[in-house]
Amino acid sequence: MQKIAIYGKGGIGKSTLTSHLAAAFARLGKRVIQIGCDPKADSTSNLLGGQPLTSVMGYLREHDEPPQDLAAISRTGFGGVLCIETGGPTPGLGCAGRGIIATFDLLEDLSLFETFAPDVVLYDVLGDVVCGGFAAPIREGYAEDVLIVTSGEKMALYAAGNIADAVENFRDRGYARVRGILFNRRNVPDEEEKVRAFAATRSLPILADFPRSDAINRAEEEGRTVIEAAPQLPISEKFLALARSLLTSEPQEA
């Protein structure tokens, strides 16, 4: 089982990239779980036809007891991907990070991995602040590899640096490693030079370089990924190539 956490600044496109990567793994015949670790609970919408999914925290707010089976807090999306959202507390009340920890504990109680037996598990994690529950995938050993999504924007690179530092802080415990960078272009000035300089400073490979894509936008309006909507397009092949690369022991730089 390959366990990958995808981190990035809020709004950088990590949920879009995560759902597309999940769809790509599924297209390659892998059993996939995607767990959205963001209070917005919209990580998996492109795999579910744009339909909302009851989050774990949402379920716990509405019921007196935790769910007794996975069916109450999950749904199967495109390609058989099992979709789960942690969700968050009522706005202004509680801590979203604690919601992630509570979700992980519940999924262990429900024997998620033993029941579904996935080949790949993807965690989509907000990376503006890598603390508390948001650090759980790397701090508690849930993830083995971390992919950092960034553009050439200043705050995206700043968040990417914090994420890389957080992973490094747990390195001596045998937890996750940063496997590389996903370059999600925003077409800002000198963007490629800035991202490549950041990657070189951190000695990290750029595993994929994604241009701004109207095809992705059109597919998302339909609640789909381009892997489902237009698998023949070059942008779809980029995700499939990334998925193939990640399945090897040492992925190749794009």
- Dihedral sign (CA 115, 121, 122, 128): positive
d(CA 7, CA 165): 12
Is 40 a residue of the active site? yes
β-strand partners of 37 = 125
d(CA 66, CA 155): 38
Catalytic residue from among 14, 30, 194, 238: 14
Is 14 a residue of the active site? yes
Is 9 a residue of the active site? yes
Catalytic residue from among 3, 30, 38, 40: 40
Catalytic residue from among 42, 119, 128, 209: 128
Is 38 a residue of the active site? no
Catalytic residue from among 3, 9, 194, 238: 9
The two three-digit tokens of residue 221, written as one number? 């309006």
Catalytic sites, residue numbers: 9, 14, 40, 128
